[in-house]
Amino acid sequence: MARNPEEAQRLVIPLKPEETLAFLGQADKNLKKLRALLREAFPERLKLVVRGDQVELSGDPEAVGVAERVVRDLLALLRQGAELDEPTLEQAVGLALQGEGLYQATTPETELALPGRLRPKTPGQRRYVEAIATHDITFGVGPAGTGKTYLAVAMAVSHLRARRVKRIVLTRPAVEAGEKLGFLPGDIQAKVDPYLRPLYDALFDMIDAERFEQYLQSGIIEVAPLAFMRGRAQPVDTPVLTPEGFRPMGRLKPGDWVVGAYGVPVMVVAVHPQGVKPIYRVRFSDGVETRATADHLWAVLTPWDRRRKRPPRLVTTEEMRDNLHQHRYEIPLLQAPVEFPRRPVPLDPYALGLLLGDGCLTDGTTPTLCTGDPELKEALAARLQGVKVVPKGGADPTLTLKGGENRNPVSTALRALGLWGTRSRERFVPEAYLWNAWEVRLAVLQGLLDADGSVHVQPGRRARVQFSTSSPRLAQDVAFLVRSLGGVVHHRVRPQHRLHPGVARGQTALHPAESHVLDIRLPPGLSPFRLARKAAIYAQAGGIHPMRFVEAVEPTGEAEAVCITVASPDGLYVTEDFILTHNTLNDAFIILDEAQNTTPEQMKMFLTRMGFSSKMVITGDVTQIDLPKHQKSGLIEATRILKGIEGIAFIYFKESDVVRHPLVARIIKAYEEAERGGDRG
């Protein structure tokens, strides 16, 4: 009791009936522990009793003030659904002695942020949870037992349930205390499981085992060592589409522009060389293919996703390899035609398409077009300035393109394009038309299909569009046009000996070369035809929707690899044959645990992997670094380099934030005092 009775203070705090038992604990366990803690702090200066539905405090005013804060904090926790235990009681008393309170750790914002009945138990934890809620990147630095990892996982689960993110990525350095994964027994899962166990344990507290397995299988949760975050790469010679054309991936650098999913340029914000890695060839249902590492990311739609109209999920090359059946993985196509810069051309693009399809461009003759369709004749005449389009005469449907007194402008343009004198099997689409605005590319394609394409409709089915040519290069160029517009092409070759003879001028004519047949599928809104009769058939039946599925994933040796990060909301960029692939962690909640054991290079790699609509939490204890002595810690370097950057929060925990066994905080404090003493010595 207080030494001077006149200075003694008495205070009564009422209890609600449902709070009394929880406050006292079983067999008054909580009350006895609380009395012991306060007696230790204020010997003979405080009396605490519970009478019915009220707590009575009496004694020294300072002691009563501290005890009041403790009791009110504990009652606030009980009213939020928490349970009292010995560590919570010790924390409440310890914080009250420092002038802080547990009630400060439970604001409305943090109550809404965490799942279930989980609440921060210390002011440090409160600041940590609020920082995660309000910042894109949060560093949680402090001793073990402060709940850094557990609360980060809880926030990740909360964001996933609230659909603020689409996936959770949990990672940590796999090498500790100089150990090497390669020398550990078992397969890769057995090697990394011990390092990832704390993350698993936190997840299992919040997600039942069956759902956790479902999330793992579907890619909603990814748990992997940090080394696996370095992958997601392609060989350095892989072509990547830029506004100026395809460029080898190994020649890209930050600040360069590549083409994204909507056909417009997106910036490369980071490039990560990967060294020599195992490479897989990924082949698709329309015959195109590209190469990637086992952990390269792909945005895909499964049948389950399509039925539920879900957005694409992210899977790795390895995951697809193990689950290929019945067109399981659909790869998104371009969402809009690629926007190349508009370039001047010497000949109308639609007219060029007609001439490439049915024209005679042999050197030494006047250019002609073989067509009996009046609509095509009128369309051609309207697009050729200074040229007369006249019938050849008789029953021959050929049109002669005659110039005026000067040189024939069509012949002049064809010479400039390198097409004059080419035969059918030598035709091609000049680069000035391939790498041009999408309207130019579509006009060339429509001219080709109006002249030499076909549309087929079977009862109850959509229209099939085909184009045939004896020129391998023209077949490749038409495929380029279609894919650059967001469509797909199925290309097959009919050998010469299997082609039925045709009829020319009443005589049998053998085919001079094999035939390249293209099945063309364009996205909705882009008609492959201008010719009225073909366009009407196509419009009535509707075109087949373009789709691209993963058909095979095969190992193909090793190669130097590199990965890039692009500044686009979906993280997608265009690689060879206009294949969309992915390399950025968008819409994800990403946690890096034990970050003190990362190198500065690993930390930079990890942070620059962050995509749009994502959050990152980095946790670590700088007193438990297991790196070689000469190696700097990436966590320490990051706290030095990134301090003060808007959008990044640094939360430092103290021993008072430890929520494990009470001895843990005392052990931490003892070691800190010993280290300070050693520094002084």
What secondary structure, in 3-state letters, does 71-121 show?
A: HHHHHHHHHCCCCCCHHHHHHHHHHHHCCCCHHHHCCHHHHHHCCCCCCCC
Establish how many alpha carbons lie within 13 A of residue 228's alpha carbon, considering only the half-sphere containing its beta carbon: 22
Within a 10 A sphere around the Cβ of 323, how many other Cβ atoms? 14
List pLDDT tens digits, range 282-329. 999 999 999 999 888 788 888 888 888 777 777 788 888 878 877 889
* The pLDDT of residue 57 is above 70: yes
Assign domain 1-105 to a CATH class.
alpha beta
Give the angle 24-658-200 at the CA atoms, nearest 5°.
Answer: 100
**What confidence tier does 556 reach under pLDDT thresholds 50, 70, 90?**
very high
Query: What totals of helices (H) and strands (E) does the chain contain, helices first?
Result: 22, 30
* H-only helix segments in 135-282: 148-161, 188-206, 209-218, 226-229
**What confidence tier does 442 reach under pLDDT thresholds 50, 70, 90?**
very high
Q: What is the Cα–Cα distance from 147 to 122, expressed in whole angstroms?
A: 10
The mean per-residue pLDDT over the stretch 598-610 comes to 82
349-541 has which fold? Endonuclease I-creI (3.10.28)
**Collapsed DSSP state (helix, strand, coil) of residue 5:** helix
Helical axes 349-358 vs 374-383, angle rounded to 10°: 130
List pLDDT tens digits, range 144-177. 888 898 899 999 998 888 888 888 888 888 554 3
Average pLDDT, rounded, for the chain: 82
**What confidence tier does 98 reach under pLDDT thresholds 50, 70, 90?**
confident
Q: What is the Cα–Cα distance from 479 to 488, expressed in whole angstroms?
A: 8
| Residues of the chain above pLDDT 70, percent | 82
Beta strands 221-225 and 167-172: pairing type?
parallel
* The pLDDT of residue 364 is above 90: no
Q: What is the Cα–Cα distance from 589 to 221, expressed in whole angstroms?
A: 10
Q: What is the Cα–Cα distance from 239 to 242, expressed in whole angstroms?
A: 9
Residue 398, pLDDT score: 64
**Collapsed DSSP state (helix, strand, coil) of residue 495:** coil
Q: What is the Cα–Cα distance from 222 to 370, expressed in whole angstroms?
A: 60
Place of tokens 């557990």: 150
Q: What is the Cα–Cα distance from 258 to 265, expressed in whole angstroms?
A: 5
* The pLDDT of residue 662 is above 90: no
pTM: 0.67
**What confidence tier does 110 reach under pLDDT thresholds 50, 70, 90?**
very low
Query: What values do phi and psi take at 555, rounded to 5?
Result: -65, 145
Structure tokens at 206: 């919040």
Cβ–Cβ < 8 Å for 103, 79:
no
* The pLDDT of residue 17 is above 90: no
Superfamily of domain 233-333+549-582: Hedgehog/Intein (Hint) domain (2.170.16.10)
The mean per-residue pLDDT over the stretch 333-340 comes to 94
Domain extent listing, the chain: 1-105, 112-224+587-681, 233-333+549-582, 349-541
What distance lies between CA 672 and its chain's CA centroid? 42
List pLDDT tens digits, range 486-540. 999 999 988 755 656 665 555 665 556 688 999 999 999 999 999 999 999 999 9
CATH of 112-224+587-681, one of 3.20.20.140, 3.40.50.2300, 3.90.650.10, 3.40.50.300: 3.40.50.300
The mean per-residue pLDDT over the stretch 408-418 comes to 88
Residue 181, pLDDT score: 43
